[in-house]
Structure 1
Amino acid sequence: MQEAASPLYAILGNRTKALALLAIMLPVLLVTIDNTILNFALPRIAVALNPSAAGQLWMIDAYSLVLAGLLVTMGGTGDRVGHRRMLFIGCGGFAVVSLLLALSVHAWQLICGRALLGIFGAMILPATLALIRSAFSDREERRVAVAVWATCLTLGSALGPLLGGVLLQFFDWPSVFLVALPFLLPVLVLAPSLNETQRQPGGSADYLSILLSLGAMTGVMLALKHGATTGIDLQALLLLVAGVGLGLLFVRRQFRLEEPLLDLRLFRNTSFSVCIAVNLVSLGLLIGFIFFATQLLQLVFGMAPLAASLILVPGQVLAIIAGMAVVPLARNVAPNRLLAACLLLGALAFAVMALVQASVVSVCVAFVLLNISVAAITTVSNDLVLSSVPAERAGSASSVSETAYEVGVVLGTTLIGGAVAALYRLSLVLPEGLSDEATRAAATLGGARTVSSGEHAAALLQAADAAFREGVSLTSAAVALTVLAFALLTLRCLRSPS
């Protein structure tokens, strides 16, 4: 740890580098916090704005869908116009839209605002990782800066529920949007002093490629979400075919362009390709776990939002430690072995949820294991991503890496959350004598609680809790086995970059 700390002390001891690190890390924290913070505020927003059920889903998903769809575009654009400029524009736009969202009086305003946040968030994330390369020329300092960046990326997603619980304990729902201002205002002051990245010569962005990229990402994600929530039907298949078709057109166009939006030759590097896959899987595990863990803590165990968020604090603290402590290990341990070991730790976290009866303690322990795993993975994989590409392609490489994270966010909620919900419905044994309305409402854990009154209340709650525990246990077992197989694949395929 002392070896890892020396470059960190060198950074913190240099005022210019310390301020550069601060300007890069604050927006990373905010953009990833926004992935999860809204979940805690959604019940109050539903009361205040009265959105439809579909509207509530779009409030959550609009941000991640747009963010994931535009990350590659914004990374390539930043390579051309400069990532410092992209960071400044992104942070300014994010701050203005966040302020307007706090003033929303209609559900459609909130949905559109969340989509706009996704656009500006897509400007921010690739810029931050690319600016690390221009701000820290020393390899060891850059490795530590990447470790801090990776820790912020992991910590932000985990911190969202905690921050949401604290804010809603004392303030109303607009506070979850106003929290963006103290994160971004210092960045707007410090960003002009950052070293601009090396620009890649080229003309303007190819707008058809942008549309094809956004359409492909959106189509595939909507297909997966629809299939997980309502089943595989014609609509899901049409969305999937449309997304894959647009994706193939995007790939074909990139190979034909002299100056492609995304240089697909990056994927010829095995280290780069494997690290992108590991990034996607790791954040999907984290977000999927948070999705069902918050329901366990609040609905099954009956904890208040603030108390439930505090259960996650040990994992968040150890994520910070793990993200930094893995730096000296990365110097001495082969990356395939290190990443495979981290994936095994993530598989162990889900094995705990599968094999041990769900309780506050088991959720806390599993979250600790998972956070250590994801924090270490993020540090190692992103250092490999930056090291495996030329300097002028850092923005494109980082945008692909961050796209994997945002796809992981959607897939974690869709696949893991969808599996838990589907298994809950299959395992649910309702007491006899329920009304049709109560039977329909009991199809979700939250719905079962809204109709749990009268003579069947106790039996309904007991059945719903048991079914949800069963869904969590079976899903966790499947996830643990899948991650175990993926860890073995990583061990075999990953090689250190030259």
Structure 2
Amino acid sequence: MQEAQRAGRREWTGLVVLILPLLLVSMDVSVLYFTVPFISRDLEPSSTQQLWIFDIYGFVLAGFLITMGALGDRIGRRRLLMIGAVGFSAASALAAYSSSAEMLIAARAILGVAGATLMPSTLALVRNMFHDEKQRGTAIAVWTAAMTSGIVLGPIISGLLVEHFWWGSVFLINIPAMVLLLALAPVLLPEHRNPVRGRFDFASAVLSIAAVLPIIWGIKEIAAHGAGPIRVAAIAVGLGIVAAFVRRQQRRADPMLDLAILRRAAFAGSVAVSLLGTFAMAGFAVFSTQYLQLVLGMSPIEGALWSLAPSIGVGAAAPLASVLAQRVDRAKIIAAGFLVSVVGFVMLSGVPVESGLWILLAGAGIYAAGLVVVMSIATELAIGTVPPERAGASSALMETASEFGGALGIAILGSIGTAVYRARLDDHLPSAARETLSGAVTTAEQMPQPLAGQVLGSAREAFVVGMHTVAWTTAAVMLFAAVIALAFLRGLPAGAQETGSTRHADKVPA
């Protein structure tokens, strides 16, 4: 067996360059959290337009991931990365200087398309640059930590910027980083593409986008507003298009997405555990954020800063997992990560209504560290089992599964928490107070004391009971996920496809 070539200083410096777009794409998921009052004052969006300003980026990003991953396999991942950097810069400037809600929505949609070119390209290039199994594990651990850090840093950076500048500054910070990427990518990043490219299948691209968008939209709408005929129908339509997409891939000699990789236990199992990990992480984050702001009464920026505390342990979790993966079966590490998260969720099931900050932070830090281990090792295992020439589409499939996991977590866990919240409240309370905790806070502000205190106290207690139920539910799902990992991933090497594949990868000189 030929020994894999080890990466040198150029590859590690190139990894730092790849972190730039990854951080910015993940930050833009959450960067608008503190800008709503300022955007509302300047652009006067309707309630529907305000929702689309937030959601359109994630919808389009998820919808285009598979298409852009496959496109990168054909035209070159570095080339697509640089095209995406130009598009992301232009869309950022357009968003920053938007003069209407419609213009901002369009700019956010273009940002989503550009983001979809950047995310799979970064992970695919990591696969192509790091052929040694140990080095690739470390590189993917860094990639995973950067992606999760971006989502956490988004609200912090937006909160700091809007305190000193206008709301458009949260978009303009993208441009210098993208310019730096454009300058350094040709020097530090190699070009890779599939040597057997064939013609790009536009029909499959349309099907993949048309499949993902209605499913993601339906899931998020159900999470926000409950099940309804149109939302359920959107999911059903999306699933029907998925079936059509799969049939087309099976019939084509050069499919956009090679479905054979899903028959590999390492890849399919890794996709499943990654989906379950993001299900838990995204689903519970909604409750921890509301607890800080609406139960403990913190300001948005104060709550965002406190939410950074759990990241201290998370930063070390992914590199530690990479080291352990060289000595321990990866399935056992993934299962252990899920079990660590169970400990965190059990702690969160005991958070009190008052003075629960430290319990919340400790529990969140523990479950986040466990799940970052899961996602880091799962990504390494999945990407290591696919040929380098298929790394773009495979990376996109992993990231699409993560998007679905997050949407499902918010929808299912959010629905459970909301159901418990409503069941615990008196039917005689105002309807707004019985809908959500934020509604109860708004209602209480308009009431005289001591009635306001009673309404707010009941609502906060009901919310915390719902959060406890969600914590126990998530702990049970994580136990199930640990069993899945042990059953389907035990004994599978991460680098099974490395030997021989790199000899056929189309490497273009930098």
TM-score by length of 1: 0.91
Candidates 143, 160, 167, aligned match of 2:154? 160
Partner residue in 1 for 2:447: 454
In structure 2, the partner of 1:439 is 431
- Of the three residues 374, 395, 398, the one matched with 1:398 is 395
Give the AA of the match of 2:298: M
Shift of 1:441: 6.0
The equivalent of 1:142 in structure 2 is 136
Q: Retained in 2: the 8 A contact 1:38–1:164? A: yes
Return the match for 1:129 from 114, 118, 123. 123
Residue 351 of structure 2 contacts residue 464 of structure 2 at CA under 8 Å; is this kept in 1? no
Following the alignment from structure 1 to structure 2, what is the Cα–Cα distance between the partners of residues 176 and 309?
16
2:204 to 190, 193, 209: 209
Aligned match for 1:235, one of 230, 233, 245:
230
Report which stretch shifted further, 32-41 or 165-174: 165-174
Whole-angstrom CA distance in 1 between matches of 2:34 and 2:417? 19
Higher helix share: 1
Aligned counterparts, 1:464-479, within 5 A: 464-479=459-474
Q: Classify the secondary structure of the residue corresponding to 1:266.
A: helix
The alignment status of 1:326 with 2:321, answered yes or no, reads yes
Query: Aligned residue pairs: how many?
Result: 483
Q: Residue in 1 aligned with 2:506?
A: none
Pairs within 5 Å for 1:169-208: 169-193=163-187, 194-208=189-203
Q: Which runs of 5+ in 2 are unaligned?
A: 497-510
Is residue 2:265 matched to residue 1:270? yes
Aligned mates of 1:323, 1:443 — CA distance in 2: 39
Provide the residue aligned with 1:347 in structure 2: 342
2:426 aligned with 1:429: yes
Tell me which residue corresponds to 1:362.
359
Q: 1:288 to 1:182 in 2, by over 3 A?
A: farther
User: What's 2:15 paired with?
Assistant: 21
Structure 1 residue ranges, 4+ long, deviating more than 4 angstroms after superposition: none
3-state SS of 1:389 partner:
coil
1:442 deviation in Å?
5.2
Q: Gaps (5+ residues) in structure 1?
A: 1-6
Q: Displacement of 1:312 after TM fit?
A: 2.0
Change (3 A) 1:471 1:36: same
Which stretch of structure 1 is more off in the superposition, 414-423 or 346-355? Answer: 414-423
Q: Percent identity, aligned pairs only? A: 36
Provide TM-score, normalisation by structure 2.
Answer: 0.89
How far apart are 1:41 and its partner, in Å? 2.5
Residue 376 of structure 1: which of 373, 394, 409 is its match?
Answer: 373
Counterpart Cα distance in 2 of 1:237 and 1:211: 21
Write the distance in 2 (CA, Å) between the matches of 1:263 and 1:369. 37
Distance 1:102 1:414 in 2: 30
**Is the deviation greater in 343-352 or in 262-271?**
343-352
Q: 1:291 to 1:353 in 2, by over 3 A?
A: same
Q: Give the Cα separation in 2 of the matches to 1:287 and 1:232.
A: 20
Using the TM superposition, name which of 60-69 and 258-267 deviates more: 60-69
Residue 237 of structure 1, CA deviation: 2.8
How far did residue 88 of structure 1 move?
A: 0.4
- Secondary structure (helix, strand or coil) at the match of 1:385 reads helix
Q: Is the 8 A contact 1:126 1:399 kept in 2?
A: yes
Q: Secondary structure at the match of 1:331?
A: coil
Structure 1 position 68 matched with structure 2 position 62: yes
Q: Measure the CA separation in 1 of the matches of 2:335 and 2:323.
A: 17
Q: Are the aligned partners of 1:316 and 1:368 in contact in 2 as well (CA < 8 Å)? A: yes
